[in-house]
Amino acid sequence: MKQLIVMGNPRVAQAFVDYMAVLKIECQLAPADQGVAVFLMDEQYLEKAEYELKQFIENPNDEKYLAASWTVADSRKAKFSYGGKGLVKSAFFAHAGPVTLAVLLISAVVYLFMNIGFERYLMLNLTIPPQLSMLASDQFWRVVTPIFLHFSVIHIVFNGLWWWQLGGEIERQLGSSKLLLITLVAAVIPNVAQLLATGPYFGGLSGVVYALLGYCWFTGWLRPQAGLQLSPAIVGFMLVWLVIGFMDVVGPSTANLAHLFGLFVGCAQALLDKFFGKQQPN
Q: Which residues are catalytic?
A: 206, 259
- Under-50 pLDDT residues of the chain: 79, 81-84, 87, 280-282
User: For residue range 205-231, what is the model confidence (pLDDT) as tens digits?
Assistant: 999 999 999 999 999 888 887 778 788
Please report the pLDDT score of residue 73 as a whole number: 60
User: For residue range 80-116, what is the model confidence (pLDDT) as tens digits?
Assistant: 544 445 545 556 776 778 999 999 999 999 999 999 9
In CATH terms, is domain 2-87 a member of 3.30.70.2350?
A: yes
Task: Say whether pTM exceeds 0.75.
Answer: no
Please report the pLDDT score of residue 86 as a whole number: 52
Domain spans, the chain: 2-87, 95-276
- Neighbouring CB atoms inside 10 A of 237's CB total 12
DSSP 75-122: T-S-PPP-SSTHHHHHHHHHT--HHHHHHHHHHHHHHHHIIIIIHHHH
Specify whether the CB–CB gap between 194 and 207 falls below 8 A: yes
Please report the pLDDT score of residue 51 as a whole number: 92
Sheet of 2-7: strand order equals 2-7, 35-40, 27-32
Please report the pLDDT score of residue 280 as a whole number: 46
Assigned superfamily of 95-276: Rhomboid-like (1.20.1540.10)
Specify whether the CB–CB gap between 149 and 123 falls below 8 A: yes
Please report the pLDDT score of residue 29 as a whole number: 84
> How far from 78 is each of 27, 72, 197, CA to CA, in Å?
10, 11, 52
Please report the pLDDT score of residue 195 as a whole number: 86
Please report the pLDDT score of residue 253 as a whole number: 57
